[in-house]
Amino acid sequence: MDNSLQALPPQSAPWTYDVAQSYLKLVGWNTTGTLPESPKGVLIAAPHSSNWDLPFMLAVAGVFRLKLNWLGKHTLFEGAMGPVMRALGGIPVDRRARHGLVEQVVQRFNQSDSMYLAVAPSGTRAGSTHWKSGFYHIARAANVPIVCGFLDYERKLGGVGPSILPSGNIKADMDRIREFYADKVGFDGKKTQGVRLSEE
């Protein structure tokens, strides 16, 4: 195996680029940014204020040829829909398990050669005063970069910003993340809110 390929993010099927590019062009959106040369990462999906965020996020990921994973309740993967949910990038997590969510996801990272996990830290489209900190602790424990993904509805622009390898100094790392998201506007017309963890 060519070791140089191991530094690339996981790639989606070639056709996803054409479909995604056509969709974004149709609705007047552009993309910007460069993915880090890392086969693994935790992608922040922000700001999150509408169900429209999902198709736009998938389209932007398609332009980058980035195959994304996401977390879902384990019951969603039972029965006939299980293979479909997995094919769409879903990863089942069992909140009843002895090991917590962070430990389950870190184990999945450790077992994978390449994996990018999309997480919406706001946790709800209704908005909140704090982001959920799971994305940070997952990236820290798995030793993978946090990639600042974004959708800016005001500029009709989506893409990726800086990548940050968590240092353990939560406030310093979050200051960098806050600075990036300060001017990003969600579907609801509001700038990104709650970019603060309770641990700070």
Q: How far is CA 88 from CA 11, 43, 53, 102, in A?
A: 13, 16, 16, 21
Continuous segment of H or E residues that includes residue 140: helix 134-142
Residue 89 lies in a domain: yes
Residue 24 lies in a domain: yes
Residue 189 lies in a domain: no
pLDDT(100) > 90: no
Domain of residue 57: give its range.
9-181
pLDDT(164) > 80: yes
Residue 2 lies in a domain: no
β-pairing verdict for 70-73 and 90-93: parallel
pLDDT of residue 1: 39
Residue 130 lies in a domain: yes
Mean of pLDDT values over 17-26: 97
How many domains are contained in the chain?
1
Mean of pLDDT values over 41-54: 92
- Tell me the β-bridge partners of 72: 92
Q: How confident is the model at residue 5 (pLDDT cuts 50, 70, 90)?
A: very low
Residue 101 lies in a domain: yes
pLDDT of residue 123: 67
Which DSSP category does 61 fall into? H
Least confident of 3-7, 26-30, 65-69, 174-178: 3-7
Residue 190 lies in a domain: no
pLDDT(127) > 60: no
Continuous segment of H or E residues that includes residue 123: none
Question: Pick the residue with more confidence: 34 or 93?
Answer: 34
Residue 198 lies in a domain: no
Q: How far is CA 45 from CA 2, 52, 78, 110, in A?
A: 31, 12, 26, 22
- Sign (positive or negative) of CA dihedral 140, 35, 67, 133: positive
**C-alpha span between 132 and 99 (Å, rounded):** 18
Mean of pLDDT values over 24-51: 95
Tokens of 93: 């997590």
pLDDT(124) > 70: no
